[in-house]
């Protein structure tokens, strides 16, 4: 073999060795920069990671079946019959009958059931059916059209009772369950979320509900009076209304508001109220009223009376539209909600002392809560 050929072979192998070295160096640098400086691969336990994800997934799942198992037995179907004597063109009497359907929830094991006023209003007979039980007749304990709530009672005892939650701590987006009897399909369950809080809605002539829970859980005719439940199976609202021809827009009365009404209905058969239509007085409200009617208002905080219900404690006290209440039983009143709260703490026939302004004239009025 010639010297020239030997030199060429040697050069070939030198090139091969150099190329391999460069490739190795390049691979090392590539892994260094793409893995943040860790040349060695991380020691991952993929089984552990997968199990961790599954655990977190189970914790975040909303299990409606547990809610239904807990509360379903306490949800009642309410069937009503209304009989009215009407007169034809010739003044001849005839009997008109109609039937109604709604829902309710057992709140006391001795037979007290909470529902909507519009479910039982005017009913001649009220029939209640609980899951797994025979229908029984109920009597009306008390009803409050102003909040669209009513309490009925059956004679059965040892009934399953729904646990009441705290609707003052609700948050938009929370998961909820509605149970009721839409269109007669008993014990129907729907799920959704709390869409909004503090909604206001007109639900009838002179009936304006405030502080409502809005939900997208399906609510239909027959659901009225049934419970809206949180993830723990606690009643947080009483389903009461929908927006007709809309989808996913339903409303519930917060249970913390319903409880105050129930207390009076069970104890007195009616809700004890002062009997005023009022609004919180602000500087803006005072200025607007002064400009509109020329009435000078000497205070900028309190409650301005917009109207007085005939025969109410407020009417007996002598309150009039335009009066500004700023003291109630010795307590300063700065908002409508505060006035409602103070009134709700009173019992039947408790004395009431009201300090108010009528124009620049200071009034001291007395009455009793009835």
Q: What is the pLDDT of residues 319-367, one digit of tens each?
A: 998 889 989 998 999 888 888 888 888 888 899 999 998 878 889 999 9
Q: How confident is the model at residue 13 (pLDDT cuts 50, 70, 90)?
A: low
> Which residue in 144, 148, 264, 323 is the catalytic one?
148
To the question of domain 276-368 being in CATH 2.30.42.10, the answer is yes
Bigger pLDDT: 297 or 116?
116
> Which residue in 167, 195, 224, 252 is the catalytic one?
224
Instruction: Residue 309: count other Cβ atoms within 10 Å of its Cβ.
Output: 14
Give the H or E element holding residue 212: strand 207-215
- CA–CA dist 68, 366 (Å, integer): 50
- Average pLDDT estimate for 193-211: 85
Contact 62, 231 (CB under 8 A): yes
Asked whether residue 117 carries a pLDDT value surpassing 70, the answer given is yes
Tell me the C-alpha to C-alpha distance, in Å, between residue 90 and each of 87, 93, 95, 97, 265. Answer: 8, 9, 15, 20, 42
Contact 142, 151 (CB under 8 A): yes
Asked whether residue 316 carries a pLDDT value surpassing 50, the answer given is yes
Is 63 labeled as catalytic in the residue annotation? no
Is 148 labeled as catalytic in the residue annotation? yes
- CA–CA dist 43, 28 (Å, integer): 19
- Average pLDDT estimate for 191-195: 95
Phi/psi region, residue 317 (left: phi>0; alpha: psi -120 to 50; beta: rest), is alpha
> Which residue in 103, 118, 144, 167 is the catalytic one?
118
Note the pLDDT of residue 37.
45
To the question of domain 62-269 being in CATH 3.40.50.360, the answer is no
The residue written with tokens 């691979």 in the block is 27
Note the pLDDT of residue 245.
77
User: pTM for the whole thing?
Assistant: 0.75
CA Rg, the chain, in Å?
A: 35
Q: Is 363 exposed, middle or buried (0-12, 13-18, 19+ CB in 10 A)?
A: middle
Is 335 labeled as catalytic in the residue annotation? no
- CA–CA dist 281, 65 (Å, integer): 47
CA 146 to chain centre: 17
């Amino acid at each position: 073999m010639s010297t020239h050929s030997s030199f060429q072979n040697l050069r070939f192998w030198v090139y091969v060795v150099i190329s391999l070295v460069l490739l190795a160096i390049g691979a090392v640098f590539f892994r260094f920069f793409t893995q943040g400086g860790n040349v060695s691969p991380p020691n991952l336990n993929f089984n552990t990671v997968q199990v961790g994800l599954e655990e977190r997934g189970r914790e975040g799942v909303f299990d409606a079946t547990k809610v239904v198992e807990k509360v379903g037995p306490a949800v009642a179907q309410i069937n009503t019959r209304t009989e009215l004597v009407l007169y034809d063109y010739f003044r001849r009497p005839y009997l008109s009958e109609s039937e109604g359907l709604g829902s309710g929830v057992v709140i006391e094991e001795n037979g007290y059931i909470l529902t909507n006023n519009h479910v039982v209003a005017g009913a001649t007979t009220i029939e209640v059916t609980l899951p797994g039980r025979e229908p029984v007749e109920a009597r009306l304990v008390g009803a409050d059209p102003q909040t669209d709530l009513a309490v009925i009672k059956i004679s059965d005892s040892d009934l399953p009772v729904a646990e009441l939650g705290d609707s003052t701590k609700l948050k938009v987006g929370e998961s909820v369950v509605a149970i009721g009897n839409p269109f007669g399909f008993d014990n129907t369950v729907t799920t959704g979320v709390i869409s909004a809080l503090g909604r206001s809605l007109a639900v009838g002539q002179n009936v304006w509900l405030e502080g409502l829970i809005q939900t997208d859980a399906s609510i239909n005719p027959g659901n009225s009076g049934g419970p809206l439940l949180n993830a723990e199976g606690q009643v947080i609202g009483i389903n009461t209304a929908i927006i007709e021809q809309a989808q996913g827009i339903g409303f519930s009365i917060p249970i913390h508001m319903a409880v105050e009404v129930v207390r009076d209905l069970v104890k007195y058969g009616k809700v004890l109220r002062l009997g005023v239509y009022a609004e919180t007085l602000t500087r803006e409200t005072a200025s607007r009223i002064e400009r509109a009617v020329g009435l000078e208002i000497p205070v900028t905080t309190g409650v301005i009376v917009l109207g007085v219900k005939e025969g109410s404690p407020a009417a007996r006290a002598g309150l009039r539209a335009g009066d500004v209440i700023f003291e109630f039983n010795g307590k300063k009143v700065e908002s409508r909600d505060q006035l409602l709260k103070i009134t709700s703490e009173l019992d039947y026939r408790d004395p009431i002392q009201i300090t108010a302004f009528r124009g620049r004239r200071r009034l001291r009025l007395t009455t009793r809560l009835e």
